[in-house]
Amino acid sequence: MSVLDPKKTLKNLRKKGFVDSFNHSKDHKYLELFHNNKLVCYTKISHGNKDIGDPLIKQMSFQCKLDKDEFMDLAKCPMSEEEYIELLENKGYLK
């Protein structure tokens, strides 16, 4: 079973180009990723301190257009912002 620390995940996603969104509800922190001024994807993280478990990791990976292992690399920092953008391009999400 995989778990992620929500504070570290939030910090690491911001390092990868995600920005805070203020257009969503206040019960979660929404992060958006833009590329060439276009919204590519968004995900959300709870304000709480509970670890992020497998079901939420799966949802976040889907929202970020990655499989679970790729998302874990993105959230834990082995994957750089450039590698993430290249991966999205290779998957056909960026044109």
CATH code of 67's domain: 3.30.920.30
Q: What pLDDT was estimated at residue 28? A: 79
Q: CB of 45 within 8 A of CB of 52?
A: yes
In a domain, 85, yes or no: yes
> Among the residues of 1-95, which ranges form H helices?
6-15, 54-63, 68-76, 81-90
Token pair for residue 17?
Answer: 């180009």
Considering its fold, how many domains does the chain have in total? 1
24 part of a folded domain: yes
- Residues 2-57 have pLDDT tens digits of 899 999 999 999 999 999 987 766 677 899 999 999 999 999 987 778 899 999 99
Q: Is residue 95 part of a domain?
A: no
Question: pTM for the whole thing?
Answer: 0.89
Classify residue 1: in a domain, yes or no: no
Domain extent for 83: 6-90
